[in-house]
Amino acid sequence: MPQHPAPPESRRDDPAENSARGFAWAVPLMRAGYAGRGLVYLLVGGASLWSIWHGGSAEGTGEAMGRLQGALGTAILLLIALGMAAYAIWRAVDSIWDLEDYGNSPKGLIARAGMITTGLVHLGLSGLAITVLLGRSEGLGKTELVNRLLASPGGQAAAGIAGALTLGAGGYYLHKAWSEGYRDHMQGNPATLHLNLVLKAGMAAHGVVIAIIGFLMMQAAAYASSHEAGGIGTAFNWLQDKTYGQILVTFLCIGLLGFSLVCFVNAAWCIVPKADDRGLQTLKDMLNS
């Protein structure tokens, strides 16, 4: 029988190769998380545009989830709950083991800390989907949570810090859209190449929403009132009151549909440096070649 040559020592002992094999299990978790995240923004953007088209107003995450009825609605809510839980776990794993290779520099540590915060937010969305599934969504809302935070000792300062961090996260997404930093961890292929402008617009729209939420949280902390603090729905309401608000909200909803596409593209083609094949070509490399 022919003898197959043993793998070269350099490859067998390559720490990068060993690391990729050791964390390969995290890749399906990441893909499930991004798919669930895409479902959330597809639901919010789609339901809001439908409501606007029929003379209503844009809706927040809880309201959009509440629209889901019947067997199909139950299935979608279950997928969202599982996907958001997977995304929360993925962000914790990613941060602890630095699977996206941000490093231990101050900038890298801030990015990794932000992953934990993002994971907690999406774990909350998983819980929201479960409460809607159980028919207990009445009385839930970020405004109520902010009220409780403001009433606790040191709550006003904590709300201000949380708002500043959220505002910073919005700025990060806007910078990522402007610099096209999302290309660094995205596989280069004809699909991602032709969707680049849509991905850029979707990332920017998400940054705008997050920045508005952060600004409103800081405002609530400054005035010790949660009247305008909340989530996506509150951001829509705040923007709606501005000049040409309905037009701005409509464009923002379209942008969130674009961000849902960003999530689905990541679910299919995101590259995890410490868990994927090191030979995969990124979209950045493809565009620069």
Taking the chain, what is the end-to-end CA distance rounded to the nearest angstrom?
A: 44
Does the pLDDT value for residue 115 go beyond 70? yes
Higher pLDDT: 53 or 7? It is 53
| Closest alpha carbon to 37 in 278, 256, 273, 274 | 256
Instruction: Report which of 20, 21, 27 is spatially closest to residue 266, judged by C-alpha positions.
Output: 27
Residue 117 has pLDDT above 60, yes or no: yes
Q: What is the pLDDT of residue 141?
A: 52
Residue 192 has pLDDT above 50, yes or no: yes
Q: Where is average pLDDT lowest: 25-29, 70-74, 116-120?
A: 116-120
Instruction: Give the dihedral sign, CA 203/119/84/143.
Output: negative
Q: Does 30 score more than 90 pLDDT?
A: yes
pLDDT tens-place string over residues 125-168: 999 999 998 886 544 455 565 556 566 667 778 878 888 888 98
pLDDT attached to residue 233: 87
Q: What is the mean pLDDT of residues 233-258?
A: 92
Give pLDDT tens digits for 121-130: 899 899 999 9
Average pLDDT estimate for 59-84: 93
**pLDDT the model gives residue 223:** 75
**Percent of the chain residues past pLDDT 70, beyond the cut:** 83
Structure confidence at residue 221 (pLDDT): 80
What pLDDT, on a 0 to 100 scale, did the predictor assign at position 96? 94
Q: Where are the domains of the chain?
A: 24-288
- 68 phi-psi bin (left φ>0, alpha ψ -120 to 50, beta other): beta
Q: Whose structure tokens read 């893909």?
A: 31
* pTM of structure: 0.86
Residues 241-248 have a mean pLDDT of 90
